[in-house]
Amino acid sequence: MKPIVILLLVFAGLGLLRCSPTPPPVEVEEVVLWEGPEQPNILWLVAEDLSPYIAAFGDSTVSTPNLDRLAREGVLYPQVYSPSGVCAPSRFAIATGMYPSHGGGHHMRTGPWYRPWTDEELAEMVFPSRPEGLTVYEAMPPAGVKLHSEYLREAGYYCTNNAKADYQFRAPVTAWDASNQEAHWRNRAPGQPFFAIFNFGITHESQIWARAADSLLVDEDLPVNVPPYLPDNDIGQRDVRQMYSNIVRMDQQIGEVLQELEQDGELENTIIFWYTDHGGPLPRQKRLLYDSGIHLPLIVRFPNQWRAGTVDDQLISFIDFKPTLLTLANIDIPEYVDGRAFLGTDATENQREYIHAAADRFDERYDMIRAVRDHRFKYLRNFSPEKGYYLPVAYREQMPVMQELLRLNQLDSLDEFQAQWFRTTKAPEELFDCVNDPHELRNLADDPQYQSQLLVLRAECDRWMKEIQDLGQIEEETMLSSWWPQGVQPSTQDPSISMEGQSFSISSATPGASIGYQWVSESDSLLPVWQVYQQPIPSRPEGKLAIIAHRIGYKASAVQLVDF
C-alpha cells in the first residue's frame, strides 16, 4: 500500500464561477489522496435521461437518501455536460474520449449496437425510424482508438458492463470481461482490481409512458415545478411526478449496489462515479442542446471520503471522462483523445474555458446545430434555419405531455414560452445568459449589449469545428461511402501467428486492430471471455489457441483456431 498522489485543482472564488465569463486563475497543489492500492477499483453508476433533479444539486422535490449519502461523502460537480443531448453519441464520447462529430458517432443512431447483434439478425431487421434507404453502419473512429475498458484490462483490471453498450459501433471482444445483465465485479479473481459500470434505465424517457399505469412512489398530489416550456396542467404535472417517481426507484437501485460494495469490503478501495448520460427525459430536454438536454449531475466519492462535501465548479465534458478514468488507474492517456483529465496524476493544470456540443440526425430527422458554452453564456449555431425547432420524433411522441403539447399547439393554446419550440424557422444564431435565463428562452444574439460575448463564442465555435474537422459538415451517405468503398463494410484482416522461441507472436495487418485470444479444449468450444493480446504468449503442450482481430468500425476477423 502506498499513498496515491493526484493534482487537486484549487479555484479562487469558486462560488462565483458560474457567473464569471472569464475563469479565475488556477493553482495546482499536490495532495495525498489516500493510503491504498495504486490500482483502485472504479465503479460507475449511470442513470439515463436525467438533469440535476436531486437534492444534492438543489432540487429537494423527492428524497434520495443513497445519492444524498454519496454527496455528503463525495465531491459534487455541478458543471458537467455531454457533447450530445442523446445517449448513443454520449456513450461514444465517454468510451473513446473523442467528440462524436470528430470520430463519426454524431448521428443518432447508426445501428442497434446496444447489444451484440449478429450479421444474420441485422440482415433481417427493419428500422422504421431511420431515413429511407440509410444503411445500418458502425461509426469508424481513427485507427488505434480503443474503448476505455480495454486499456484497463491491459493493466490487469476486471472490467464489466451491466449492460448498455450503445457506442455507435460493436464493441470488440477485447473490451470487457463481461457485458451483460449478469456482469458484476464479484466474478473477478481474488484481489483483482475492477472497473464496473451499472446502467439504470428506470429514469429513461420511455419509463414515463411505460409506467403510466403503475402506482407512483411519490404522493399523487406532490407539488412539482413544471418547466415553463411545458403545460402546467394535470397531464404535465403527472408526467413530471412520474419522472420523480422514477428517480426514487433509481435511488433505491443505487443503494442496492452500494450495499453489495460494502458487503464485499470494497467501499474504501473504490472510486465511485454517479452521473447521468445526458439531460432530462421530458420534451424540450433530451435531444436538444439547451442545458436541459446536455447538462447533467456528477458525484465522485473517493475512498475514505476524501474532499467529502465539497463542490468543484470547473467545466467538464464527457470527453474528459476517459482520460480521467485512465489516469486514476495510473494508465497513460492516449494522444488521440480530445478530452483532458480533471482528476489524477495527469490532471491538466488549465481548466476548461468552454464546453462544446453538437446535434445532427435524430432517428429519421436531420438537422445540424453546434453549441459552445462558457460558465455563463451559451451560443447556438443553427445550420438549417429554414427548418423549425421541433423535430417530430415518433418515439418521443408516445409521452403524454408531448401529446398534450401537440394538441395545445394545434389549438393555438400555448403560451409565449411553450410556443417557442414550434416556431417554423430558426434564428441562424442564438445566445443565452444561462445564469439569468436558465431555461434559455430569451435569445440575446441581436442585443447590442451582448455583442462581445456573441463574437467570442462565435469565434470559438469556428475554431473548435475546424480543429476537430467536424464530420457534421459532410452528408451522412457521403461519410459512409468514404468508410465503406462500394458500400461494403471493411473487414479486419485475419490475425497471423509466428513462433518466437517458445512463445507465439500475433499480429493483424489492419492498423489499430485489437487482438483477442483464448486457449480452448479439444472440443473447440469458445469461452465468452477473450484475453487482450499485448505480448508474445508462452506455448502450451496441449489445447488450441483461438485468436481474433477487430478494429472498431470494421467487421471482426474470423476466429482462427491454431493447433500445436
Does 407 sit behind a cis peptide bond, omega within 30 degrees of 0 on the bond before it? Answer: no
Helix (H, G, I), strand (E, B) or coil at 449: helix
The confidence score (pLDDT) of residue 369 equals 98
The confidence score (pLDDT) of residue 381 equals 98
Please count the other Cβ atoms lying within 10 Å of the Cβ belonging to residue 98: 24
User: Helix/strand/coil (H, E, C) string of 153-173?
Assistant: HHCCCEEEEECCCCCCCCCCC
Burial 251-286 (b: 16+ CB within 10 A, else e): bebbeebbeebeeeebbbbbbbbbbbbbbbbbbbbb
Decide if 87 is catalytic.
yes
CA-to-CA separations, 142 to 56, 88, 495, 552, in angstroms, rounded = 39, 18, 20, 9
Beta strands in 253-375 (DSSP E): 270-276, 295-301, 310-311, 316-317, 355-359, 369-373
Longest dimension (CA), the chain: 80
The confidence score (pLDDT) of residue 8 equals 47
Catalytic residue (one of 87, 159, 434, 461): 87
Domains of the chain by start residue, with CATH: 1-21+39-489 (3.40.720.10), 496-563 (2.60.40.10)
The confidence score (pLDDT) of residue 464 equals 98
As a dihedral over the C-alpha atoms of residue 269, residue 342, residue 33, residue 29, rounded to 10 degrees, the angle is 180
Q: Which residues of the chain have pLDDT under 50?
A: 1-3, 5-31
Cβ-proximal residues to 41 (8 Å cutoff; 6+ apart), any chain: 185, 193, 194, 195, 196, 266, 269, 270, 271
The confidence score (pLDDT) of residue 116 equals 64
